[in-house]
Amino acid sequence: MALIDRSDMAEFATIRDEVTALKRERTVEAAAQLFYDRGYEKTTLEAVAETMGVTKPFIYNHFKSKAELLADICTRGVSASLVAMDAALAAEVSPTEKLRMLSRGFLTAVLSNQRYIAILTREEKSLEPADFERLSVLRRDFDRKLVALLQAGVDAGEFHLNDPYVAALSIGGLVSWAYVWYRPDGRLSLEALADEVSSLILAMAGVPAGQ
Amino acid sequence: MALIDRSDMAEFATIRDEVTALKRERTVEAAAQLFYDRGYEKTTLEAVAETMGVTKPFIYNHFKSKAELLADICTRGVSASLVAMDAALAAEVSPTEKLRMLSRGFLTAVLSNQRYIAILTREEKSLEPADFERLSVLRRDFDRKLVALLQAGVDAGEFHLNDPYVAALSIGGLVSWAYVWYRPDGRLSLEALADEVSSLILAMAGVPAGQ
DNA sequence: TAGAAACCATACCGATGAGTATTATGCAAG
DNA sequence: CTTGCATAATACTCATCGGTATGGTTTCTA
């Protein structure tokens, strides 16, 4: 280690970097839990630090402000949704199958990032304008891609939709809202829920039952 | 007026009562606008008072706390949704027609109470526990009634749903989320949107296109 | 092992905003 | 005109919390 010149380190993940990343990660997790339970404005950084067994300056060594912590949290939910979208679009299958993949992947992304999605939805007004704008662009991007997918399905004769734009917003809402009611210890597993919801969405798109 | 005994006044709306009600109403409107634009915690009562051309004690003469103002706002959205639900259920028509009425009425309720619904969704953590509980009961009531309607449609052979419970939550989310994207000056009128969304919901329930 | 540098805790500041005590105003009745 | 009551404004208190200056401690380098 001692032989490695400092100037090279930027390109490699050193132990130090990993430790720093771990601390950031733990801080985000602790903050997300409290922001989710109590709300952003009602959560003090003191409280976040306390649940981690550290103090406030620890947090300020890794985040420049409370708002940056929020931005980090909010970015996660949106990113996960976009990853699911891009994965579905990249598959070389019919629009119907893409929509099924998207529905399942999107719901899974929302539910496995439940806290982050909830915080984004509730607290977007507390984001710095630049972060808000950045995330808005990502969300519009998601909607745009979904409209295009629905339109492609209509053009292929697989979907029957009068207004793909409204349909896209409806699908987006149906899935996004799942953070409100989902309970990890509920009656249905995440897998089973994904099956249910994706068939509801296919039905909504006008795909005959049973594919 | 002078002839009317004060003890009788409780049962009639006097001018005085109407004035009081008007002041409360204007306060709620002003607060809702600011809570919607900036968020509850980031809005000072000073700011609310300023937009009304009064000062803080004016508000405290009509509301015992900032949280009571919030509770008033939040109650409106839920109540409007429940009214739409009960109206649909009371109609003596088939489950399919009830679901169509509900979809249209629910969406209309959400969109014409857009601010109130948005504030309820974002700020529920700031409600007093008692108010939170009261509103939670109303929301569960709504969901319960929707599940029952869907089940009735399935039993009547009109709907084709594997899991009415998940379907109810999906419909609830699809419509509730509309507060996020709806713009009163958008491409479609509220009427046209209600048509679109209700046909999407009917399709989701497995009702053949064109009724 | 000396020395330095990153790191984090203690203790603090300054601003902000909910709620209130007191004072002023205006309206109604006699 | 005057007395009294309700209403709202001025001006204040007090607690909270985001952010920081400073000093001690650990860890890495040489």
pLDDT digits (tens, 9 = 90+) for B61-104: 999 999 999 999 999 999 999 999 999 999 999 999 999 999 99
How far is it, in rounded angstroms, from Cα B61 to Cα B55?
11
Which of B19, B17, B21, B36 has the alpha carbon at shortest distance from B113? B36
Chain B residues with CB-CB distance to A176 below 8 A: 173, 177, 180
Pair B76, B117 in one domain: yes
Which of A46, A63, A80 is the endpoint of a domain? Answer: A63
- B136: amino acid identity, one letter: S
Pair B39, B56 in one domain: yes
Pair A70, A58 in one domain: no
Task: CATH number of the domain at B209, please.
Answer: 1.10.357.10
Pair B58, B87 in one domain: no
pLDDT in tens, A109-153: 999 999 999 999 999 999 999 999 999 999 999 999 999 999 999
Pair A29, A94 in one domain: no
Confidence of residue B37 (pLDDT cuts 50, 70, 90): very high
Strand C closer than 7 Å to the CB of B42? yes
Distance, CA of B140 to C1' of C6, in Å: 53
Which single residue is written with the structure tokens 């399905």? A153
Q: What is the pLDDT of residue B32?
A: 97
- Measure the CA dihedral A209/B202/B151/B76, to 10°: 140
Which positions in strand D are less than 7 Å from the protein's CB atoms? 7-11, 16-22, 28-30
Pair B133, B193 in one domain: yes
Which of A84, A73, A60 has the alpha carbon at shortest distance from A32? A73
Strand D closer than 7 Å to the CB of B16? yes
Identify whether the C-beta of residue B121 lies closer than 8 Å to the C-beta of residue B73: no
Instruction: Work out the minimum CA distance from B126 to partner chain A, whole angstroms.
Output: 8
Domain presence at residue A1 = no
Q: What is the pLDDT of residue B10?
A: 41
Pair B71, B58 in one domain: no
Is pLDDT at B4 greater than 70 in this prediction?
no
Which of B96, B84, B90 has the alpha carbon at shortest distance from B176? B84
Identify whether the C-beta of residue A94 lies closer than 8 Å to the C-beta of residue A157: no
What is the percentage of chain A residues whose pLDDT exceeds 90? 88
Domain presence at residue A96 = yes
Which of B20, B36, B63 is the endpoint of a domain? Answer: B63
Enumerate chain A positions whose Cβ falls within 8 A of a Cβ in B: 38-42, 121-123, 125-126, 160, 162-163, 165-167, 169-178, 180-181, 187-188, 193, 196-197, 199-201, 203-206, 209
Nucleotide with smallest C1' distance to residue A60 CA: D19
Strand C closer than 7 Å to the CB of A49? yes
Pair A116, A170 in one domain: yes
Task: CATH number of the domain at B23, please.
Answer: 1.10.10.60
Higher pLDDT pick, A170 / A210: A170
Is pLDDT at A181 greater than 90 in this prediction?
yes
Q: DSSP code of A205?
A: T
Identify whether the C-beta of residue B101 lies closer than 8 Å to the C-beta of residue B87: yes
Domain presence at residue B1 = no
Among B70, B119, B142, B181, the strongest candidate for a mutation testing the A interface, having the largest count of A CBs within 10 A, is: B181
Which of A63, A78, A95 is the endpoint of a domain? Answer: A63
CA closest to B39 among chain A residues? A125
Domain presence at residue A108 = yes
Domain presence at residue B5 = no
Pair A56, A76 in one domain: no
Confidence of residue B7 (pLDDT cuts 50, 70, 90): very low
Q: What is the pLDDT of residue B3?
A: 30
Domain presence at residue B6 = no
Q: How many CB pairs under 8 A join A and B?
A: 106
Pair A85, A24 in one domain: no
Strand C closer than 7 Å to the CB of A38? no
Is pLDDT at B12 greater than 70 in this prediction?
no
Q: Do B173 and A163 count as a contact with CB atoms less than 8 A apart?
A: no
Is pLDDT at A31 greater than 90 in this prediction?
yes
Identify whether the C-beta of residue A22 lies closer than 8 Å to the C-beta of residue A54: no
Domain presence at residue A8 = no
Instruction: Work out the minimum CA distance from A14 to partner chain B, whole angstroms.
Output: 41
Domain presence at residue A6 = no
Task: Give the range of the structural domain holding residue A20, as residue numbers without chain letter.
Answer: 13-63
How far is it, in rounded angstroms, from Cα B168 to Cα B94?
18
Distance, CA of A162 to C1' of D22, in Å: 67
Q: DSSP code of A125?
A: G
A174 vs B173, B193, B209: nearest CB: B173
Instruction: Work out the minimum CA distance from B16 to partner chain A, whole angstroms.
Output: 38
CA closest to B34 among chain A residues? A125
Which positions in strand C are less than 7 Å from the protein's CB atoms? 7-11, 16-22, 29-30
Q: Do A41 and B38 count as a contact with CB atoms less than 8 A apart?
A: no
Q: What is the pLDDT of residue B150?
A: 98
Residue A91: both structure tokens together? 């598959």
Question: For chain A, what is the domain count?
Answer: 2
Pair A72, A167 in one domain: yes
Strand D closer than 7 Å to the CB of A65? yes
Which of B95, B105, B83 has the alpha carbon at shortest distance from B164? B95
> What DSSP assignment string belongs to chain B?
-TTS-HHHHTTS--HHHHHHHHHHHHHHHHHHHHHHHH-STT--HHHHHHHHTS-HHHHHTT-SSHHHHHHHHHHHHHHHHHHHHHHHHHS-S-HHHHHHHHHHHHHHHHHHTHHHHHHHHHHGGGS-HHHHHHHHHHHHHHHHHHHHHHHHHHHTTS---S-HHHHHHHHHHHHHTHHHH--TTSSS-HHHHHHHHHHHHHHHTTPPS--
Pair B209, B131 in one domain: yes
What is the percentage of chain B residues whose pLDDT exceeds 70? 91
Is pLDDT at A70 greater than 60 in this prediction?
yes
pTM of the model: 0.91
